[in-house]
A = this chain, B = another copy of it.
Amino acid sequence: MKKFMNSAGTLAQDSLEGFVAAHDDIVMFGAGRKYVRRRILSPGKVAIISGGGAGHEPMHTGFVGYGMLDAACTGHVFTSPTPDHIQAAIRETDGGAGTLLIVKNYDGDVMNFEMAAEMAMAEGTHRVETVIVNDDIAVERSARGTGRRGVAGTLVVEKIVGAAAQAGATLDDLRVLGDAAVAATRTMGVALKGTTVPQTTRETFLLGPDEMEVGIGIHGEPGRSREKVADASAIVALICTHILDDFGSLDGQPVLLFVNGLGGTPQSELYLVFGLARAFLQARGVIIARSLVGTYVTSLDMAGISITVTHLDQRLIGLWDAPVLTAALRW
């Protein structure tokens, strides 16, 4: 699959330049044009920083703005940003109330964000805490790390924590809240076509005309099983059953239902999946209190979807509903 790019090596940075130009009312480049920060910071507020490899757009740069992230650090495609860039973002956005890092559970990201936190704290003037997101129930171990991976649920955690930070929560409160939001969130995905990375312009895994990959991640890696492709109702039932089993029971409980596109799936199919997932969960007594449908946490051009369910309580509903003004999310 071909790509609109000038070269594989410059795709991520060229794209970032266009992003900042398109949204310069909300964001600006930080030091060295290596990360994106809010144009207007709020002194006295805990800074919320996330990031990871490029290729997951609009995550994370699209989530920088009022009510969500203060900065997003981006590396090359599927490659963690380096600790010095993360450290610079911590330094530049620190409003005096400390910094919370939201990190997806991949070894590279966890290591680099941890190193950046230590380097920043060694300066003597920064307090830094970290929340690790691991919402993907598909695999307990992957080529990129130990434990569950961080996938689309990262958006939910960043929205909830970002809203609480905007409302003045303390760093300690935010870390506890972030861990609670992670614990309340489960995701699983299915792909019909693998990711085409810019270096090779070939798919990272090849599926036959009647195959689908169940439990895919967001780095073009295979999932937990390859199965015969099924109709949308069967795919939804498969994913939602795994999610409900993992929760134990959600009978009578309010949830956020988030259907996410992996990059190459048209919106018509996302809404179709949403309608089926909503009906499936409602038939099992789950209350769909909030919903989100769209292409938010991607794996370049992968044709795939993921379903995320977050168990809500009154506080989480209020934080989800709180105003947000970013390139990708606004209400």
Contact = CB atoms under 8 A, between A and B. Distances in A.
Interface of A: 1-7, 11-12, 14-19, 21-22, 54-55, 57-58, 62, 192-193, 209, 212, 229, 231-233, 235, 263-276, 278, 291, 293, 295, 298, 300-301, 303, 305, 330-331
Contacts of A265: 4, 301
A305 B4 contact: yes
A276 B193 CA distance: 29
Given A22-B274, A330-B330, A192 B2 contact: yes
Nearest to A59: B267
B231 A18 contact: no
17 contacts: A4-B235, A4-B270, A4-B305, A11-B269, A14-B232, A15-B269, A15-B272, A16-B271, A18-B275, A18-B293, A19-B271, A21-B291, A22-B274, A22-B293, A55-B268, A57-B268, A58-B267
A14 B275 contact: yes
Nearest to A264: B264
Contacts of A55: 266, 268
A54 B268 contact: yes
A12 B268 CA distance: 7
B271 A301 contact: no
B235 A272 contact: no
Contacts of A300: 266, 268
A76 B15 CA distance: 35
Contacts of A209: 2
A89 to B, nearest CB: 20
Nearest to A234: B6
Given A21-B278, A298-B266, A4 B273 contact: yes
A82 B266 CA distance: 24
Contacts of A276: 14, 18
A62 B267 CA distance: 10
B267 A4 contact: no
A192 B196 CA distance: 13
A256 to B, nearest CB: 12
Contact of A291 (B22, B293, B303): B22
A15 B295 contact: no
A311 to B, nearest CB: 19
B4 A271 contact: no
A62 B99 CA distance: 37
Contacts of A19: 271, 275, 293
A232 B10 CA distance: 11
Contacts of A12: 268
Contacts of A7: 231
Contacts of A274: 18, 21-22
A272 B212 contact: no
Contacts of A270: 4, 18
Nearest to A236: B4
A255 to B, nearest CB: 14
